[in-house]
């Protein structure tokens, strides 16, 4: 199965939906320009159906959305110490 532009647009839509459940404090760490860029690139036809974060299991989140969330976490949300730990885990 090959990745398509629409696959990535759907993953961005999932990511934005999941971020709706995050605390405002976390969202505020992500630059507005990044959020705007994600919004401009999301799918216009795919609507994720996550009702609440407790109802979102890892199986329901696409691998691409998990990757986007990981990048957002590493680049904007976690502390410097957490970044070091995150990087260690990524490269093991």
Which regions in the chain score pLDDT beneath 50? 1
Give the pLDDT score at 33. Answer: 97
Give the pLDDT score at 68. Answer: 95
Length of the chain: 92
Give the pLDDT score at 60. Answer: 76
Given a contact cutoff of 8 angstroms between Cβ atoms, the answer to whether 18 and 53 are in contact is yes
What is the pTM for the complete model shown? 0.82
DSSP codes of every residue in 52-83: -GGG--GGGS-HHHHHHHHHHIIIIIS-HHHH
Domain carrying residue 55? 5-90
Give the pLDDT score at 1. Answer: 47
Domain count, the chain: 1
């Amino acid at each position: 199965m090959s990745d398509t532009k629409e696959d990535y647009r759907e993953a961005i839509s999932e990511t934005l939906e999941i971020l709706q459940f995050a605390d405002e404090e976390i969202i505020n760490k992500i630059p507005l320009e990044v959020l705007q860029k994600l919004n401009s690139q999301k799918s216009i036809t795919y609507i994720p159906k996550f009702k609440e974060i407790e109802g979102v299991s890892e199986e329901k989140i696409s691998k691409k959305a998990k990757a986007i969330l990981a990048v957002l976490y590493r680049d904007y949300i976690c502390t410097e110490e957490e970044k070091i730990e995150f990087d260690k885990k990524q490269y093991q």
